[in-house]
Structures are given as structure tokens and as C-alpha cells.
Amino acid sequence: MKVAAIQHDIVWEDASATHAHVTPLIAEAAGAGAQLIVLAEMFATGFSMHPEKIAENEGGLSEQFLRNNAREHGVHLIASVAQRGPDGAYRNNAIVASPDGSVQRYAKIHPFSYAGEDEKYAAGRDFLTVEIEDVRTTVFVCYDLRFADEFWVRALETDLYVVVANWPAPRVAHWSALLTARAIENQAYVLGVNRVGEADGSRYVGASALIDPMGHQMTEPIEDECTLFGDVEPEQVVAIRAKFPFLADRR
């Protein structure tokens, strides 16, 4: 499966403007043959702690944007959106939009308490693993990356982990190291997609990456807006786990 990581800037708290910005980037990635295209965390608004201002109802404008682009281009799209659930609670939901128009959601299990996200957005409880072009894909959001045990739970059912993020420049070394660690310890591909640009006093330098199941970088870290491409082969996951059956020893 050919994947594309769109490492994009975001117009702060302006979903419509950001939709216009990323529309041609999605079209270009689809035109290059990508079957799975991934955008950043809170891709339309930035990592805003004002959900009362930027959150949309489930099924709202940004979710429809992802759904429509997935259908139009015949691709799968993943990105996260600030949403209000039927219970009235705000959540940082990763959206998986499929070419058939269907949508699945994963609510971020670990809101980023350091920035007060836990005070604004409810924590999710359930994992999401979907089969995309025969690749078992598990979705996480940003701060979830620091919690290895969540990844371990899904390892045997996962070929590819996708992590969407707004991970700031001062801790970008952590981002890169943790992406690699999650790939090595679970013997799976990891695709991490981080934003670029500046917003609300933070600077973001991308460093999006595709890591193979042996922990090798399949892409070069870039600080500017760009689209990174790579191939995910579930057969490699099977082969590496058979050759090095470390997961069987996990308690």
C-alpha cells in the first residue's frame, strides 16, 4: 500500500481556510498513487484549547471534507478533528474516511494534560484498528505516542500504526525517538504525521516519518511543508515477526 504523509501548515482556528489550503495537497498525493493519505492532528484548526469556538458536531464540516475527498479521489484519509459528541462532550477524534463514504472515529485516549487538553476534551476509551487495502491499521493521536502499553495491546492485530500530531519543535527529538521505538518494540510500520508552521506561541518543524518494522527510517526528516511517500507491505511484518518472534515473550 502506498501511503502519503501530508506535512502541512494550519490556519489557526480557521477550518475553511485550512480546507482550501490542503485540498490541492490531497489531490496531488492521490494523483501520485497514494492509497492512504494522512494529515495532522486537529488538521483544520490547530491544537486549540477553545473547543467551544472550533469544535464541530460529529459529522460536521471537517469530517464531511475528509469524507468527500476520500470519495472523490478513491483514497483513505486520516486526520484528527475537534468534535462534539452526542453526549455534549468535546473530543479530539481521529477520523478514518474511506472511499465508500464511510467514516470511523478514534477518540484520543490520552489528552495532553501539560497543555490542559484534559480539562477541555474528554478522553477516549476504545482502540480503532481498520483494514485498509489489506493493511491492518491502528490509529493514535499525538500524546498517545508516549504510552507504549497502548501500542502493545494492539500489536498482534496491527501492521501499521498511524500517529497524527501537533508535536512542537522543542521536543521533536522525543517525537522521532518514540516513533522508532514503537516500530521496533511492536515489529510494525509506524507512520507519524506532524504539522509545520507557528501557532499560539508554538513552532512546529514536522519531522514526519515512515518507520519500517525493524526500526529503519524510510523517509528523511523535513522541516518544511511537504508530502512524504512510502510503501507499507504487511508481508514484511509477517516475515520479521516470524524471524524474530519477540512478541511471543511479551507478558
> pLDDT tens digit string along 58-73?
999 999 999 999 999 9
Place of cell 518514540: 178
Is 226 among the catalytic positions?
A: no
Is 185 among the catalytic positions?
A: no
Catalytic residue among 41, 56, 63, 117: 41
Average of per-residue pLDDT across 164-185 = 98
Q: pLDDT digit string (tens) for 21-43? A: 999 999 999 999 999 999 999 99
- The torsion angles phi and psi of 106, rounded to 5 degrees, stand at -125, 120
pLDDT tier at 107, thresholds 50, 70, 90: very high
The percentage of residues in the chain with a pLDDT greater than 70, rounded to a whole number, is 100
Q: pLDDT digit string (tens) for 185-205? A: 999 999 999 999 999 999 999
What is the end-to-end Cα distance of the chain in Å, rounded? 31
- The torsion angles phi and psi of 94, rounded to 5 degrees, stand at -80, 130
Q: Write out the H or E segment, with its range, that includes residue 106.
A: strand 103-107
pTM score: 0.98
Q: pLDDT digit string (tens) for 207-250? A: 999 999 999 999 999 999 999 999 999 999 999 999 999 999 99
- Give the span between the Cα atoms of 147 and 145, in whole angstroms: 5
Task: Find, among 11, 17, 10, 19, the residue nearest to 66 by Cα.
Answer: 19
Catalytic residue among 56, 108, 117, 120: 108
- Give the span between the Cα atoms of 231 and 239, in whole angstroms: 16
pLDDT, residue 251, reads 86
Q: Mean pLDDT for the chain?
A: 98
Is 58 among the catalytic positions?
A: no
Average of per-residue pLDDT across 51-64 = 98
Catalytic residue among 13, 117, 120, 142: 142
Give me the residue spans of the domains in the chain: 2-249
pLDDT, residue 45, reads 98
Average of per-residue pLDDT across 136-154 = 98
Which CATH code is given to the segment(s) 2-249?
Answer: 3.60.110.10
- Give the span between the Cα atoms of 168 and 156, in whole angstroms: 31
pLDDT, residue 4, reads 98
